[in-house]
Amino acid sequence: MPHSTKNLDEVKRKLRKLKKLEIKIRTGYAYDDGESEGKPLKLNLVWDEFFNISGSSSSKGKYCLEAIASMGKDEFKNIISEFFFSVYYRYYTENRMMNFSMYDPDILRWMGLPPDSGLHDIKKKFRELAKKYHPDTGGDSSKFIELIENYKKLVE
């Protein structure tokens, strides 16, 4: 089903507001179009990793505009929650204010866990994936090694 231009424009506006909000959260300043007082913004945005509103396949965004426009309200809320969790994780990491109850959202996503997972959830999923990827049970040894490395990053 084709999306209306009005719906796509509305989603685009919402996503651009998220981008401006991320910049404000991470820098403390309100930037317009990635510039402040004529200086270009030098910040790797989480937004760029999440969203592709240009329509080109060369963009590295995880979610394209058309896919977002076709999502239900709950699915969109989950993506926005994941986005903000990643923004704050990056902010805390950059400013060395790491909260030990927060875990790297990229690793959690790789493990198939939601961004707000706790240590109990991580350990449970680790055991499940270890059984799946362990070479003695016919699993992929490279995936098993990656799992071990990611688990160590999370629990240290």
Question: Are 147 and 88 in a shared domain?
Answer: no
**Residue 100 placed within a domain:** no
Structure tokens at 15: 């996503």
Residues 61 and 129 in one domain: no
Residue 73 sits in the same domain as residue 109:
no
- Domain of residue 120: give its range: 105-155
Q: Where are the alpha helices (DSSP H) in the chain?
A: 5-27, 46-50, 65-69, 73-94, 105-111, 119-133, 141-155
Least confident segment among 35-39, 41-45, 60-64: 35-39
78 & 149 share domain? no
> Looking at residue 37, what is its pLDDT?
52
Q: Do 29 and 67 lie in a common domain?
A: yes
Both 75 and 141 in one domain: the answer is: no
Indicate if the pLDDT at residue 1 is higher than 60.
no
Query: Two tokens at 75?
Result: 């699915």
The per-residue pLDDT for 54 is 79
Q: Are residues 17 and 90 in the same domain?
A: yes
Return mean pLDDT, the chain. Answer: 82
- Say if 126 falls within a structural domain: yes
Q: Label residue 130 by pLDDT band (50, 70, 90).
A: very high
Say which range, 3-7, 76-80, 87-91, 149-153, has the weakest mean pLDDT: 3-7
Give percent of the chain above pLDDT 90. 20
Phi/psi at 29 (5° precision): -120, 150
Question: What's 144's domain CATH number?
Answer: 1.10.287.110
Say which residue, 136 or 95, is predicted with more confidence. Answer: 136
Number of domains in the chain: 2
Q: Are residues 15 and 35 in the same domain?
A: yes
Per-residue pLDDT, averaged over 89-107, amounts to 78
CA–CA dist 15, 21 (Å, integer): 10
pTM here? 0.64
Using the predicted structure, report yes or no on whether residue 133 has a pLDDT greater than 50: yes
According to DSSP, residue 55 is labeled: -
Residues 19 and 83 in one domain: yes
Of 109, 122, 100, whose CA–CA distance to 82 is shortest? 109
**23-37, 83-97, 100-114: least confident range:** 23-37
